[in-house]
Amino acid sequence: MSNFQFISDTKLRSNVDKAFDFVVHLVLLTETSQSNTREEKLVNNFYRKTIILYTASIVEAILVWKLGKYLKENNQKIKGEWKYKNWRKICIDESGDEVGASSRLKEEITIHDLDFSRVIQKCKKHEIINTSSLENEVDELRKVRNNIHIGGLEKIESTYTKERVENFFEIAGKVKKRIIFLEKG
């Protein structure tokens, strides 16, 4: 039986269940490891990082699904974004900035065009995420998830502790509980 029975999209539910099963497997690996040697500690650290990455992906998938469902049920669309093309420089102003002209058109975007940060913002706007506290917690999960991009890290990557993983599980649990509450209406 699924841990995400509330997700009506069967493909998404299956994918989320598989990701969750993988997370559980990694948790078991970290729990059974002795972590006595430097290598064991390093491996467990990266297991925990992977656990956090997958947990964030599960949260993001649930929020994208619920936001999409909300927008469809309320006959709403995501506002398009302005795109500029055919920009031409006209002159340079006294501060050295270029002044120009272009044509612009509004491009429609879909829910899948949104990055996690914008999903969080839109979920807060539509009260899917109903408190600033939960919004901040999910955003922290998003930020840690973005540490997968190691080339852009501004500092030495931190250690991923059992307590940190448990904290992110708690956040994921809050999101799941909120979505189940909304689904029950």
Its pTM stands at: 0.85
pLDDT band for 14, please (50, 70, 90 cuts). Answer: very high
Q: What is the pLDDT of residue 153?
A: 65
Percent of the chain at pLDDT above 90? Answer: 72
Q: What is the pLDDT of residue 79?
A: 84
End-to-end CA distance of the chain, in Å? 23
Span 10-77+129-184 CATH architecture: Up-down Bundle (1.20)
Longest dimension (CA), the chain: 68
Phi, psi of 128, deg, nearest 5: -70, -45
Read off the pLDDT of residues 96-142 as tens digits, 9 standing for 90 and up: 999 999 999 988 888 999 999 999 999 999 999 999 999 999 999 99
Residue 34, pLDDT above cutoff 80: no
Instruction: Tell me which amino acid residue 145 is.
Output: R
Structural tokens at position 44:
């467990």
87 to each of 81, 84, 168, how far by Cα in Å?
A: 17, 7, 45
Please tell me the distance from the alpha carbon of residue 185 to that of residue 176, in angstroms, as a whole number. 14
Please tell me the distance from the alpha carbon of residue 124 to that of residue 86, in angstroms, as a whole number. 36
The domain limits of the chain are 10-77+129-184
Residue 45, pLDDT above cutoff 80: yes
